[in-house]
Homo-oligomer: A and B are copies of this chain.
């Protein structure tokens, strides 16, 4: 499969425009806090959400509004999570009503999302000001996507946008995304907020199926700090304007779309981990030759989740014993006797552990490998044919600083 990276993020696919404005939810005027994404047509839509029993009011509204498999707009604020507030659901519904009014569509086709502090009071006023302004600012070029990507950022240091073109059913199709989230990520449904748009024609049922198929190998394998947010949301809208023969069954076109979705989701996961709160390294763990897929995923996740190994990467210390330790406490019935570990980066590769024991290597060489930003941990379990990846980042002083000072 070939993917051509294209600009435009969430506006790259045909039929979508977006905007980002400042509406006053944040005290700081210099950072926008309200994003709007609109589709020209009613779209097939699917979502996956937090598994936290404490869940944001917008998540509850999204689940209801997605029940029919369609949506046409997404309204997102940063600065307040709209979670644990008595009036939360009413407020989220009111926001949908304001969007419906501004864009002349049904309130049931609007999906709200919020990110920020939990349990803070929230009022409709900023939305009443901001939604009409965002509707006026809607823009179908790169600028629209970028404005939206910036408006949803909280502790992110980089906006997260990505889009690719690919051929499906003889047509050039596009799939793009924006996302936010660099902390409170994992263990399941990592991203706080993630919005995908595509012009592929596909039924709501298959759109949901594709999304559900991709998440276990991507977002559920992403961790910054093991904390699952109350507001995790991934929404995927398909306008169908690419002109491909609509996908109505699990045919070849479906698998082309699935592969594109997996490609973009893996890329977004790396963006999130790389921008993990305070991170100075992206840590990717690739597990090969695992006895089954579940164990492969769990082992990869264990490695990128180990605070001790994360701190070692921050210190550029090839402390492979901590990798082995993290593999060893992974739940599941498997042997560690044939586990081999290599550390790799653009600067080279060092073979540090063979059959669960020390493999001679140069500490200087290892330090050179670990001086790079992107670190790859290659785990060969020598016990089967399954593979998986996980994405994480190092644990740094800045993580502690960011999360010790968040509200002040």
Contacts and interface: CB of A to CB of B under 8 A. Distances in A.
Contact of A356 (B84, B314, B321): B84
Which of A83, A85, A328 counts the most chain B CB atoms within 10 A? A328
A5 B84 CA distance: 45
A184 interface: yes
Interface stretch (A51-59, A239-247, A259-267): A51-59
Interface stretch (A23-31, A71-79, A130-138, A303-311): A303-311
A401 interface: yes
Contact of A358 (B119, B227, B325): B119
A400 interface: yes
A145 interface: no
A396 B406 contact: no
B396 A121 contact: no
A395 B356 CA distance: 30
A308 B225 contact: yes
B227 A406 contact: no
B227 A308 contact: yes
Interface in A301-331: 305-308, 311-312, 314-315, 317, 319-322, 324-330
Nearest to A227: B308
A170 interface: no
A143 interface: no
A83 B320 CA distance: 12
Copies in the complex: 2
Interface string A218-256: 000000011111100000000000000000000000000
B325 A118 contact: yes
A324 B226 contact: no
Contacts of A226: 226, 305-307
Contacts of A84: 321, 324, 353, 356-358
Given A119-B324, A325-B184, A327-B54, A312 B403 contact: yes
A51 to B, nearest CB: 7
B317 A406 contact: yes
Contacts of A55: 328
B54 A336 contact: yes
Contacts of A320: 119
Contacts of A325: 52, 54, 118, 184, 227-230
Nearest to A81: B321
Interface of A: 51-55, 81, 83-86, 117-121, 183-184, 187, 225-230, 305-308, 311-312, 314-315, 317, 319-322, 324-330, 334-336, 353, 356-358, 395-397, 399-408
7 contacts: A227-B308, A230-B328, A307-B307, A312-B404, A315-B405, A317-B406, A317-B407
